[in-house]
Amino acid sequence: MPAQRKPGVRPTRRRWLLPSSAGALCATAASVLALGAPDPVRQAQLTTLVRQDCGSCHGMTLGGGLGKPLTPAALADLQVDSIAFIILEGVPGQPMPPWKGLLTAQEAHWIASKLKEGFPE
């Protein structure tokens, strides 16, 4: 930040709030990712959501349907981050909808990592 840009202007609190709140946001985002998994109740809800809602297009066994299979073998070439991105943003021009209104980034990452392992029943 160019703190010296207006030497004649007395520094205000706001000048210092901006970088520190940006730092706090980064710390929050990092700790959410570091937390890793949603709590067990939410995990159960997400498992049902994936089996039912995602399954309506990707097949109840996630073996493929309108959407591609979501099995570990089918997703082998995609990183967890890429899968989470697809879940959150959808695939433009394809029936795959964006889920960011319903799922947090943490939840999408959890689903993505479980799909890579073999999704729980």
Footprint on this chain of ligand HEC (rule: CB under 6 A): 50, 53-54, 56-58, 66-68, 70, 74-75, 78, 83, 86-87, 91, 94-97, 99, 111
CB 69 to ligand HEC: min, Å: 8
Q: Which is nearer to ligand HEC, 17 or 81 (CB)?
A: 81
Q: Which is nearer to ligand HEC, 27 or 60 (CB)?
A: 60
Q: Which is nearer to ligand HEC, 21 or 87 (CB)?
A: 87
How far lies 43's CA from each of 1, 14, 62, 79, in Å?
Answer: 41, 40, 17, 21
Structure tokens at 48: 């049902």
- Cα dihedral value 113, 82, 86, 23, nearest 10: 90
CA distance 64 to 20: 47
CB 18 to ligand HEC: min, Å: 36
Q: In one letter, which amino acid is 121?
A: E
CB 120 to ligand HEC: min, Å: 13
**Which residue's structure tokens are 């349907």?**
65
Q: Which is nearer to ligand HEC, 21 or 56 (CB)?
A: 56
